[in-house]
Structure 1
Amino acid sequence: MNRKPAGQPMAKASRRIGQLVVALIVLGVPMAWTTRLVLAFLAAMLTGILAFYFTISRFDPGQLVALRRPDPLEAFVEALVYTLGSFGVLLYLAASEHSHWHFALGFLAILGVWFMVQLIYSQEYALRYYTDGGGLNFPDCPQPQWTEFLYQGFCMAACYQTSDTSVTSRSMRQLITTHGILSYSLSVSIIAMMFGLVGNLL
């Protein structure tokens, strides 16, 4: 029996279910409900990042070719949900009475969101590339691996461009546009609110 390819819809569903289960378990821990919410959110992000690690370790470009084309809104909607959750964490931090502990906890949760958003889009670049038959041109790289798609995802988040990768399809441009808009909004909002929170701590 052939092994299921990494990144197929079932793998995505399993990751999301795993995140939900872990979050519900953490919500059962006896402590202040606001702290439980932030801890559960952080645990869900860490679970998602760990799941992506296993996805990367099983990455097989040859099997991705046979997958159905991913829903163009799927990555955006999931990343948007996490981004809105991070804004909720920031509001929680702004109202926190235990500033230092909650600030550290919230910062880790928000950092987890940032990494999750980039991993979601890096995976989507890989799926879109192999199901659409291209869309990105990596120089001297006829069969891109996860490193190439992580490079594309994190460079778009940090610099909103890559110096050597060219985009060759409309669907990939649409994906990059939503990634850039969401990453920019997330980064600017977090930086602005973090400056305000640090100012309150000093």
Structure 2
Amino acid sequence: MIAVGIVAALLTGFFNSWWHAPAAGWGAAALLYDIWVWSRISRMGPSETRKHAREEDPRRSTRDFLILCANAAAIVAVLIVMVSGNQAEKPMKIAIALLALLTVGASWLMLHTLFTLRYTELYYTSSPEGGISFNQDAPPRYTDVAYMAFSLGMTYQVSDTAITNHAMRAEALKHSLLAYVFATLILAATINLVIGLAS
């Protein structure tokens, strides 16, 4: 992931602009991470999910760092559009807008994917197991937890699931606050800027 990001940043810097290199590097790395994680976890059943969650990396400190990077990279992408987009020619404006959308989109997906991993880890490492009621007899798989994580990330509330312990509520609070900041500050600004560049 890191190597792909570095290569993408260097290629962008040498062949386009060093202003755009950080966003291109992060966008490529985040997109690769998202694809890699979902290609592994999306088909796992309950028993595979339990086993994977108990040994899952990145660990908490690394995960928190990646969450901060996802938000910071999205802000950088918006700033790049603001600084360089208005001075560019029309074809380059479109390319810059696409770069911003890619970086923000990959960062958004990474944010909620990381919380999916975190919720699943908390669920299966709690004693007794739990923290989320999925209203089903079978233990949850990653896609069940992702349903809750993405619902919370997009609507700031849980839908037909219930959070049942303190640790899970604390994580959900952190997730809701970060998702709100991401949506109101970053996504809204990006949409406005991209519309402005396209006009």
TM-score bracket for this pair, using the shorter chain length:
0.7 to 0.9
- 1:73: how far off? 5.7
Aligned position for 2:130: 134
TM-score relative to the length of structure 1:
0.81
Alpha-carbon spacing, 1:156–1:73, altered in 2? closer, same or farther (3 Å): farther
Distance 1:99 1:141 in 2: 52
Give the CA deviation at 1:25: 1.7
Provide the aligned C-alpha RMSD in A. 2.2
**Whole-Å separation in 2 of the counterparts to 1:65 and 1:93:** 38
Q: Within 1, Cα distance between the matches of 2:143 and 2:27?
A: 25
Matches within 5 A, 1:101-120: 101-120=95-114
Which runs of 5 or more structure 1 residues have no equivalent in the other structure? 1-18
Following TM superposition, by how much is the alpha carbon of 1:164 offset from its aligned partner in structure 2, in angstroms? 1.3
Matched letter for residue 193 of structure 1: A
- TM-score by length of structure 2 reads 0.82
Which residue of structure 1 aligns with residue 73 of structure 2?
A: 85
**Contact 1:76 / 1:179 at 8 angstroms: preserved in 2?**
no
Structure 2 residue 14 is matched with structure 1 residue 20:
no
Cα distance in 2 for residues equivalent to 1:66 and 1:110:
30
Contact 2:116 2:145 in 1 (8 A): yes
Shift of 1:54: 3.2
Residue 122 in 1 paired to residue 116 in 2? yes
Query: Are the equivalent residues in 2 in contact too, given 1:64–1:131 (CA < 8 A)?
Result: no
Give the match for residue 93 of structure 2: 99
Which residue identity is paired with 1:61? T
Q: Report the equivalent of 1:184.
A: 180
Taking a change above 3 Å as real, the CA distance of residues 107 and 57 of structure 1, as seen in their structure-2 partners, is closer
The SS at the match of 2:138 is coil
Return the alpha-carbon distance in structure 2 between the equivalents of residues 65 and 99 of structure 1.
42
Q: Which blocks of at least 5 consecutive residues in structure 2 are unaligned? A: none
Q: Number of residues paired by the alignment?
A: 183
Q: Equivalent residue for 2:36?
A: 51
